[in-house]
């Protein structure tokens, strides 16, 4: 599945959503959450969110990650975030969300982390 905001691909047993936009604010967060949640059942709720193109993450984007993670856990799956820029990782560390999420440096590690 592909939109101008997120591209979803299967990799192993996981669904990998590559966020294509540079900024994730309210509009983008809603689309990403809908697309990732829709991809969940086909991948046993093993989802990877690839942030390699993202340079700005608004509070709605952080909320979106919390929501996707919650759905994955409720359905017996896992979510991982990969390819975060250092400044975005710092935001997650400041909010202590780095302890809540599985965060990896690269896509292959993220797919492995979710059991894909």
Both tokens of 25, joined, read 């604010």
Number of domains forming the structure of the chain: 1
- Taking alpha carbons only, the member of 64, 5, 4 closest to residue 37 is 64
- Per-residue confidence (pLDDT) for residue 116, from 0 to 100: 76
The predicted-structure confidence for 48-82, as pLDDT tens digits, reads as follows 999 999 999 999 999 999 999 999 999 999 999 99
Decide if 36 is inside a domain: yes
pLDDT band at 104 (very low <50, low <70, confident <90, very high): very high
Decide if 54 is inside a domain: yes
The pTM for the full model equals 0.94
The CATH number of the domain holding residue 46 is 3.30.750.24
Decide if 1 is inside a domain: no
pLDDT over threshold 60, residue 2: no
Residue 31 belongs to domain spanning: 6-113
């Amino acid at each position: 599945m592909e939109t101008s905001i997120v591209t979803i691909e299967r990799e192993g047993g996981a669904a990998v959503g590559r966020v294509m936009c540079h900024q994730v604010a309210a509009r983008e967060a809603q689309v990403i959450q809908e697309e990732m949640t829709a991809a969940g059942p086909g991948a046993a709720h093993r989802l990877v969110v690839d942030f390699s193109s993202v340079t700005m993450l608004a509070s709605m984007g952080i909320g979106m990650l919390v929501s996707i993670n919650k759905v994955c856990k409720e359905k017996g799956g896992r979510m991982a975030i990969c390819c975060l820029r250092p400044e975005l990782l710092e935001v997650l560390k400041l909010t202590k969300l780095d302890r809540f999420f599985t965060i990896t440096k690269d896509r292959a590690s993220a797919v492995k982390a979710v059991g894909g």
